[in-house]
Amino acid sequence: MTTGNGAGPLVELENLKVYFPIKSGLVLDRHVGDIRAVDDVSLTIRRGETVGLVGESGCGKSTVGRTILRLYKPTGGRIRFDGQDITQLGEGELRPLRRRMQMVFQDPYASLNPRHSVGRIVGEPLRSHGLATRREANARVGDLLRTVGLPADAAGRYPHEFSGGQRQRIGLARAIALNPDFVVADEPVSALDVSIQAQIINLLEQLQEEFDLTYLFIAHDLAVVRHISDRIAVMYLGWIVEVSTADELYENPLHPYTISLLSAVPIPDPVVEREREAILLAGDLPSPANPPPACRFHTRCPFIQPTRCRDEIPQLRKLSSGHEVACHWAEEIKEGRIKPRERDAVLEAPQQQQLEGPPPV
C-alpha cells in the first residue's frame, strides 16, 4: 500500500456507463432492454496508489475494471489514461497503451492456457509486442518467475503442475512482464485458500514497490481490501455509493450499504463481537436490467425514510472530511439521529397518518 499523495491522476472515469443489450426473437433480433452493469460512475486513481473497489457479486465492479482496459466498449462517459482520452480509440491505437495496462484475473485455473508451458505464458506479452528475441524472452521469464517467488525452472512446466497460489503467481509474472504502469487485479485472491491469500497480497505490495505500479484492486472481502488499499470505493448495482480513505471508511462508514457490509465482518474480540449490532440487508440484489427508481438501495436499506429515498436520486457528494457518499441522510445517520429499524414500520407510517387524519390540535 502506498500513499499516492501529491501524485497526479493516472486513470480518470467520468460518468462511465456500460450497458449490455438484451435481445429477443429468433429471426428479428429485437433490442428489448439493457443490463445497466455500470451506470454513471466517476472515479479517479492517482499514480502510485491502490484503489479498492468493493461490492456484492453483480454490482458491476469487474465490468469497471475491464472497461478501463477497453476489454469492453463503454456505452457512455469518458475514460482518460495518463491524460489521454481512450474512450473511442480503436484496437490499433490502443495497442501501444496495452503495454502500460495489464490485468490479473480472478480464477488462476481458467486464466492460464493448460496447453502452454509457463515460459510461453509469461513470455507471450514480450513476443506479442516484439520487445525481445526468443533468447532475451527466456532470460526475462526466468527473472520474472524468481521475482514472484517461483524457481526459474518452472518455465518448462505446465499450469496443472502448480497449486492455485502458484498459478496466481504465474499470472502476476505475466502481468508485470511489460513493466506496466497500471494493473487491474480482479479478485486475485478470492479463489485461493485463506492461508495463501496473505502471501499473494504481500507479493502484490512488493511488486508495487519494486515496479512503481498503480492498482485497481477489485474484491468483495472488506478485510483484504483494507489491508492493501489507500482508498476504497463501494459499488452497489452499477453505482459508486461511497469513496474514502481505507481507514476513514472502516472507522466512519456513512452509506447504509457500507455500514451493513462492515457489520457482517467478524471482529476477533469476542466481547465486542457479542455486543455490536449486526445490520442485515433485506432481500437480494435487484436486477441491473430493472434497477429500482431514485436511490437504488432503498429496496434493501435498513435506514430507509418515508421521504426522498424512493423519489430522489442521491448524488455522490463530498463532505467536509473529503469523504464522498451518495445518501440523502448520511449526516443524520452518522450523528445517530436515524437508527436502523423495521422497514415495514417506516414504509407504512405515511399511509397510517393519511388514514388516521391529522393529529388533534
**Domain range list for the chain:** 9-22+33-249, 250-356
Q: Model confidence over 236-275: pLDDT tens digits?
A: 999 999 999 999 999 999 999 999 999 877 777 676 656 6
One-letter amino acid for residue 155 of the chain: A
**Mean pLDDT, to the nearest integer, of 301-313?**
95
Write down the pLDDT at residue 353: 37
Mean of the per-residue pLDDT values of the chain: 90
The answer to whether residue 361 scores a pLDDT higher than 70 is no
- Using DSSP's 3-state secondary structure scheme, residue 165 falls into helix
**Mean pLDDT, to the nearest integer, of 227-235?**
97
Q: Is the dihedral of CA 61, 63, 65, 68 positive or negative?
A: negative
Percentage of residues of the chain with pLDDT beyond 70? 90
Please state, in angstroms and rounded to a whole number, the distance separating the CA atoms of residues 280 and 284.
11
For domain 9-22+33-249, the CATH superfamily is: P-loop containing nucleotide triphosphate hydrolases (3.40.50.300)
Q: Model confidence over 77-135: pLDDT tens digits?
A: 999 999 999 999 999 999 999 999 999 999 988 999 999 999 999 999 999 999 998 88
The answer to whether residue 351 scores a pLDDT higher than 70 is no
β-bridge pairing 182-186 and 214-219: parallel
Please state, in angstroms and rounded to a whole number, the distance separating the CA atoms of residues 301 and 283.
10
Write down the pLDDT at residue 96: 92
Cβ 211 vs Cβ 179: under 8 Å: yes
70 burial (CB, 10 Å; 0-12 / 13-18 / 19+) is buried
DSSP state for residue 8 in the 8-state scheme = P
β-bridge pairing 101-104 and 182-186: parallel
- Using DSSP's 3-state secondary structure scheme, residue 239 falls into strand
CA dihedral angle for residue 232, residue 238, residue 239, residue 245, rounded to 10 degrees: 0
List of residues 6+ apart from 272 with CB closer than 8 A: none
Q: What is the CA radius of gyration of the chain?
A: 23
Please state, in angstroms and rounded to a whole number, the distance separating the CA atoms of residues 225 and 231.
9
Cβ 300 vs Cβ 282: under 8 Å: yes
